[in-house]
């Protein structure tokens, strides 16, 4: 089980599909025809379903995406989405704790789950003749999860240990939490997906049951089946296993506190003796992919690839890395987000280059890009690479299933997912420059994670003690 922080990753994306006529009891997508091999329909109970037929191997992937994540949690209950993800493996009235995963493994398959700010997802990859088996078990836990008294406290401790290992003992992860909290004053994206430790410790069985009863419903989920299965077979199985699960009322609009406009730049510095090399992250809020309006996100995707998509040929690599100012200079953006997301710049100074000198060189390079714009040949090269990545991503049933599931879980439609490659391909130099002016001239949050002398060194040189024994964090704004 893992956490998914896709808002800060480079966008990879796009699966495609084909609608077929079918049973009158099932709602059909009335949009333009989809690419070959993909069917889209919705069961009467509201379960949106995408089927991707791929007969190259006798394998199938089932994914169930719930349109609920860490950013939907109420204040004081951070971590409940991820905690319930763990508890979903603790069995039902007919499945013992851990039995689902053991059964998948015994049948030669694999399974996992992941939680993001915007969704929680579960999947299995297994031989196609075992699809009815995993669909039955997944539907069972959608409707009949049994959180036993002997399980919920033990699993909460597992989550606390996961936090201790992944965050509390890792200065880079701690820095990411601090930075995120500064970027988001008001929006719940500022909370960690795994939750704050004191709030995890206070979570109860009642909290988990309430979260499950409220949000784990077919009309708040997306089912994606990809692989060696026909649309007719998948549809019949979906109706058989999921069709009888009742919707839990009307799905509520996902209305969250929004982030107010930033009026000033902010800086954050964190130092820790375990850090070997200084590193910088600069982030600014940016547009997400919206239904029917993905053009701004496409321009930002191309801009990120131009600036920092390659360690050798990107603009920042040529300006900073190859001349020896930086070991790494990059840019990243992922528009698959329900609300405004982040455009990020990252920088690791070369050995012997002071952080302030490296940052000044970055600022100079960005100013030059804003003044001159992208080279046409570079723009075409980057768009060709993005197009190739899109084609490659469609070559995997799992990847295509992921693209549809994530897109539909963050408010996009099937048609939006289908249209995305063409929208990317239509990005012009003017679009890129408009995006660059939007994100590179906006007030940003700049964070530095710096080495700090170990305690013994500090004592030997009689330096003043830091604010805490191991680290200090300073925010300026």
Residues belonging to the active site: 85
Task: Tell me how far apart the alpha carbons of residues 393 and 105 are, in angstroms, rounded to a whole number.
Answer: 26
| Longest CA–CA separation in the chain, Å | 79
H/E element holding 205? Answer: helix 205-215
Q: Provide φ and ψ at 329, rounded to 5°.
A: -145, 120
Contact 175, 449 (CB under 8 A): yes
**Residue appearing with tokens 């997912």:** 417
Q: Which residues pair with 227 in a beta bridge?
A: 53, 60
The radius of gyration of the chain's CA atoms, rounded to the nearest angstrom, is 24
Residues in the chain: 477
DSSP state string for 100-138? HHHHHHHTT-EEEEEE-SS-EEEEEEEEGGGHHHHHHHH
Q: Provide φ and ψ at 225, rounded to 5°.
A: -125, 125
Task: Tell me how far apart the alpha carbons of residues 368 and 363 are, in angstroms, rounded to a whole number.
Answer: 9
Q: Give 117's Cβ-side CA count (13 Å radius).
A: 19
Task: Tell me how far apart the alpha carbons of residues 72 and 120 are, in angstroms, rounded to a whole number.
Answer: 11
Task: Tell me how far apart the alpha carbons of residues 38 and 19 are, in angstroms, rounded to a whole number.
Answer: 6
Q: CB count, 10 Å around CB of 393?
A: 17
Task: Tell me how far apart the alpha carbons of residues 389 and 381 are, in angstroms, rounded to a whole number.
Answer: 12
User: Which tokens is 401 given?
Assistant: 């299933």
Contact 57, 229 (CB under 8 A): no
Contact 234, 225 (CB under 8 A): yes
């Amino acid at each position: 089980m893992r956490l998914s922080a896709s808002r800060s990753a480079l966008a990879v994306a796009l699966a495609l599909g084909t609608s077929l006529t079918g049973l009158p009891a099932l709602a059909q997508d009335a949009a333009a025809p989809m690419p070959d091999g993909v069917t889209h329909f919705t069961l009467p109970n509201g379960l949106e379903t995408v089927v991707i037929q791929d007969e190259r191997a006798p394998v199938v992937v089932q994914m169930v995406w719930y349109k609920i994540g860490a950013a939907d949690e109420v204040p004081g209950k951070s971590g409940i989405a991820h905690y319930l993800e763990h508890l979903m493996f603790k069995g039902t009235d007919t499945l013992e704790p851990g039995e689902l995963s053991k059964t998948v493994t015994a049948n030669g398959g694999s399974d996992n789950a992941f939680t993001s700010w915007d969704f929680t997802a579960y999947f299995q990859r297994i031989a196609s003749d075992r699809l009815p088996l995993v669909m039955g078990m997944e539907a069972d836990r959608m409707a009949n999860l049994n959180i036993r008294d002997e399980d919920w406290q033990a699993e909460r401790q597992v989550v606390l240990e996961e936090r201790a290992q992944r965050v509390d003992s890792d200065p880079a992860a701690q820095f990411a939490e601090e930075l995120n909290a500064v970027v988001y004053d008001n929006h719940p994206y500022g909370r960690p997906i795994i939750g704050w430790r004191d709030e995890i410790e206070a979570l109860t069985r009642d909290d988990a049951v309430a979260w499950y009863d409220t949000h784990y419903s077919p009309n708040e989920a997306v089912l994606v089946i990809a692989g060696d299965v026909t649309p007719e077979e998948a549809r019949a199985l979906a109706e058989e296993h999921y069709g009888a699960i009742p919707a839990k009322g009307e799905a509520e609009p996902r209305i969250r506190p929004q982030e107010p406009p930033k009026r000033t730049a902010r800086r954050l510095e964190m130092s820790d003796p375990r850090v070997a090399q200084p590193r910088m992250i600069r982030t600014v809020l940016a547009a997400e992919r919206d239904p029917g309006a993905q053009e701004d996100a496409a321009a930002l995707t191309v801009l990120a690839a131009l600036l920092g998509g390659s360690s050798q040929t990107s603009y920042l690599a040529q300006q900073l890395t190859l001349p020896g100012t930086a070991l790494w200079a990059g840019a990243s953006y992922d528009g698959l987000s329900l609300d405004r997301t982040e455009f990020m710049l990252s920088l690791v100074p070369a050995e012997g280059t002071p952080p302030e000198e490296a940052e000044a060189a970055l600022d100079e390079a960005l100013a030059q890009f804003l003044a001159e714009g992208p080279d046409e040949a570079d723009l075409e090269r980057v768009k060709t690479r993005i197009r190739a990545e899109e084609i490659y991503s469609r070559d995997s049933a799992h990847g295509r299933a992921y693209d549809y599931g994530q897109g539909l879980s963050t408010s996009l439609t099937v048609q939006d997912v289908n249209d995305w490659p063409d929208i990317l391909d239509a990005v012009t130099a003017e679009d890129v420059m408009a995006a660059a002016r939007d994100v590179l001239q906006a007030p940003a949050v700049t964070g530095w994670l710096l080495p700090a002398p170990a305690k013994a060194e500090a004592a030997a040189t009689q330096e003043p003690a830091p604010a805490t024994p191991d680290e200090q964090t300073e925010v300026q704004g």
